[in-house]
């Protein structure tokens, strides 16, 4: 499966879940190799230091893209960019015109941040994960208690999110400000909740990033389904036992 096919598969999953209503949602992948013809095209200025990514190629969805259209017309809905000093240069895509995603700042800053923490990092997906957004509206804006809540709902939450979930208070989207704030959170977490908006998930591949978001959203859904009733959640001692059995090192202060 090449990069375009991988992206098309990922956006189909996101769309099927209803996590990309209208033109919501965007994703990007650091591209190590590209098997289609490229041609230098438009330049898009960058107002922040992207030196950590210079020379790398990044595939990203178009601004105003409906994710459900990516599989139909990838050459129109995607952009392959090469990061250069002070700008991103179009190498493929955006046929008919357009610009990369309005969240380009968040994607590029976050790629640089994750690569510094994990050299295997390659993919980012921003989605409007319904249950995580709803749970975030009901719970305190504190990463420890929110993570502990998700861990207590299902075994996989601790398995795939041992470092926890980052929380970003509401900020205007599409700005350098939210890009910088997201990148700072992703230095420590692989999943960040944007309050009243969506999530940013990272991984070694889109499959990895989406799987992480799906598990977190399932835990949030279980919380919402059982809220208000008497529930039997995974206890703190059981979480410690699980972490020991799997060789994981979750944040001890959150257990």
Catalytically active residues are 103
For residue 132, the SS3 value is helix
Q: Are 25 and 124 in contact (CB under 8 A)?
A: no
Question: Residue 199, class by beta-carbon neighbours within 10 Å (0-12 exposed, 13-18 middle, 19+ buried)?
Answer: buried
Q: Tell me the two tokens of residue 147.
A: 């993570």
Q: Tell me the two tokens of residue 195.
A: 């309050």
Orientation of helix 206-226 relative to helix 143-153, angle to 10°: 80
- Helices (H), strands (E): how many in the chain? 9, 9
Q: Starting at the edge strand that comes first in sequence, how are the strands of the sheet with 43-45 ordered?
A: 43-45, 87-93, 78-84, 57-61, 26-31, 123-127, 198-203, 191-194, 166-168
Q: Tell me the two tokens of residue 38.
A: 């490229």
**Residue 242 Cα to chain centre, angstroms:** 26
β-bridge pairing 166-168 and 123-127: unpaired
Cα gap 107→195, rounded to integer Å: 18
């Amino acid at each position: 499966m090449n990069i375009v096919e991988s992206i098309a598969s990922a956006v189909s999953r996101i769309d099927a879940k209803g996590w990309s209503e209208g033109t919501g949602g965007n994703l990007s992948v650091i591209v190590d190799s590209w098997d289609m013809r490229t041609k230098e095209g438009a330049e898009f200025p960058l107002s922040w230091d992207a030196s950590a990514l210079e020379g790398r190629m990044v595939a990203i969805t178009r601004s105003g893209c409906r994710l459900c259209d990516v599989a139909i017309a990838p050459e129109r809905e995607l952009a392959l960019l090469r990061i250069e000093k002070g700008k991103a240069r179009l190498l493929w895509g955006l046929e008919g015109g357009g610009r990369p995603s309005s969240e380009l700042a968040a994607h590029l800053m976050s790629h640089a941040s994750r690569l510094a923490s994990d050299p295997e990092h390659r993919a980012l997906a921003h989605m409007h994960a319904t249950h995580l957004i709803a749970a975030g509206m009901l719970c305190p804006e504190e990463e420890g208690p929110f993570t502990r809540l998700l861990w207590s709902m299902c075994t996989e939450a601790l398995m795939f999110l041992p470092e926890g979930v980052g929380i970003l208070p509401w900020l205007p989207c599409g700005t350098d400000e939210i890009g910088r704030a997201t990148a700072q959170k992703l230095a420590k977490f692989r999943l960040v909740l944007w309050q009243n908006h969506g999530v940013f998930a990272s991984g070694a591949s889109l499959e990895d990033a989406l799987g992480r978001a799906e598990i977190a959203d399932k835990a949030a859904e279980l919380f919402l389904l059982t809220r208000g009733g008497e529930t039997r959640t995974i206890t703190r001692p059981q979480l410690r036992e699980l972490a020991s059995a799997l060789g994981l090192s979750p944040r001890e202060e959150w257990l």
